[in-house]
Amino acid sequence: CNFVVHDKCLKTVVSPCSSVAPTLVKTPVAHCWSEPAHHRRRHCNVCRKKLDDTYAIRCEVCEYYVHVECGDFTVANCKDCATFVPEKCNQKVVQLHHWREGNLPANSKCVVDKKTCWAAECLAGMRCEWCGYTVHAMCAEKVPLDCTFGLLEPIMLPPSAVSIPRTEVPMEAIIGVQSRRKDTLSPRSISEEFTSGDYKIRDQEETPRGSAKEREEKDEEVVKVFDGNSSLRRRMFRLVTISRTANVKEFLTAALRAFHVPPDNSKTYLTDAYSADETEVEDPLPVTKLTRRDGKRPAVFLRYRLVSYTILTEWDPWEMLFWSICYGTIHFTKMAK
């Protein structure tokens, strides 16, 4: 691996050899390579030689530089930017540093001893790809384990809050490009394209766990929950098992949990999907009041409640448009001078 070190510094070496580094990665994450190009004042992370006179590629996510001929020996340790798990609470997830050796910005200083930790002659120092901390290799273990994302913390969306798009979604929908098709497609819901949950897509309804007799004994009902008109047309729903004696609050909480949405009953409500005028579900016994079709389970819509405001103003048209876009339905009343 062309690792050069002083005899007196041999005991402080923490960088693994490139021949064993791939075996130390617990969760491999592939790199996103750029086109081959010349990169000045950079070193290869595999053979540790300069990249000045040869073509090299770099990871556009984690700043991993390698020669083109060294590409077969790279370590798949890119940043994992989507680690959302529905069963875990995001507040309890600890974000660790993602250290990358060498190729530090000029005049970088160690956050531990405040000394220069970069070098233009070789791979030296380490940098966290999340918070931007730069340290000496032997000082990395002195930095707290949890990463705070540095200056970008107020606007940074942590990886624990991001999920990978579903693979069956067309690439045009993921990258936002409209394909040239003659037929008109209906808009897709957000949860349909980017959720990591367990949507049901069936021409015939799937039988949930437990027999009908067991549900009758427990006095429970299986209800389909749609998150929009588009999901109803595409028959994409989630099943919730709810007691027939449950109230509206319990029914709404179960529907929100099915979509992994925090239970905030003031902003959402349920409507009967099969009723003629889509009436809102109300107490008492909302489950038993749902409209039922032949051979189908009852279904509800999970809707977002638009808040209505009344503002006293001088009727500035542009201001009225701004507030309407931000807060939904607003009633404007002209204020007397």
Q: Please, are residues 298 and 292 in contact by the beta-carbon 8 Å criterion?
A: yes
Residues in the chain, total: 337
- For CA atoms 102, 107, 113, 114, give the dihedral sign: negative
Asked if pLDDT for residue 207 goes beyond 80, the answer is no
- Alpha-carbon gap, residue 257 to 205, rounded angstroms: 21
Q: How confident is the model at residue 211 (pLDDT cuts 50, 70, 90)?
A: low
User: Residues 43, 44, 45, 48: what is their CA dihedral angle, to the nearest 10 degrees?
Assistant: -80
The DSSP output letter for 45 is T
**Count of other CB atoms within 10 angstroms of residue 334:** 9
Asked if pLDDT for residue 253 goes beyond 60, the answer is yes
Q: How confident is the model at residue 274 (pLDDT cuts 50, 70, 90)?
A: confident
Mean pLDDT of the chain: 77
Which amino acid type is present at position 281? V
Q: Mean per-residue pLDDT for 161-175?
A: 63
- Judged by DSSP in three states, 319 sits in helix
Q: Which CATH architecture has domain 1-78?
A: 2-Layer Sandwich (3.30)
Q: Parse the chain into domains and list their residue ranges.
A: 1-78, 90-160, 200-304, 307-337
Asked if pLDDT for residue 197 goes beyond 50, the answer is no
- Alpha-carbon gap, residue 253 to 266, rounded angstroms: 11
Q: Where are the alpha helices (DSSP H) in the chain?
A: 171-175, 190-194, 212-218, 229-233, 248-258, 317-327
Q: Mean per-residue pLDDT for 197-224?
A: 59
Q: Matching CATH topology for 1-78 and 200-304?
A: no
| Among the four given CATH numbers 3.40.640.10, 1.10.540.10, 3.10.20.90, 3.40.50.9100, the one describing domain 200-304 | 3.10.20.90
For a pLDDT cut of 70, what percent of the chain falls above it? Answer: 73
Q: Mean per-residue pLDDT for 325-331?
A: 52
90-160: what fold?
Answer: Wheat Germ Agglutinin (Isolectin 2); domain 1 (3.30.60)
Over residues 21-39, the pLDDT tens digits come to: 878 888 888 898 889 888 8
Position 26 scores a pLDDT of 84
Structure tokens at 181: 């098709």
* R_g (Cα) of the chain, nearest Å: 28
